[in-house]
Amino acid sequence: VPIALTAKGAINQRSSKVADENIIYQLIEHNKKNFIATASHIMDGHTAVAPLKYKQLLTCQFCNYKSVCHVDGLIDSKRYRTVDESIKPLDLIQQLRNEGGERHDSN
> Taking the model in full, what pTM does it have?
0.60
In a domain, 3, yes or no: no
74-89 pLDDT per residue, tens: 676 677 888 888 888 8
In a domain, 76, yes or no: yes
In a domain, 84, yes or no: yes
Please give the tally of structural domains in the chain: 1
In a domain, 87, yes or no: yes
CB-based contact 3:18 (threshold 8 Å): yes
In a domain, 107, yes or no: no
In a domain, 2, yes or no: no
C-beta neighbour count of 90 within 10 angstroms: 9
CB-based contact 51:80 (threshold 8 Å): yes
Rounded to an integer, what distance in angstroms lies between the CA atom of residue 79 and that of residue 72? 10
Q: In the predicted model, is pLDDT for residue 26 greater than 50?
A: yes
Provide the domain limits for residue 95: 21-99
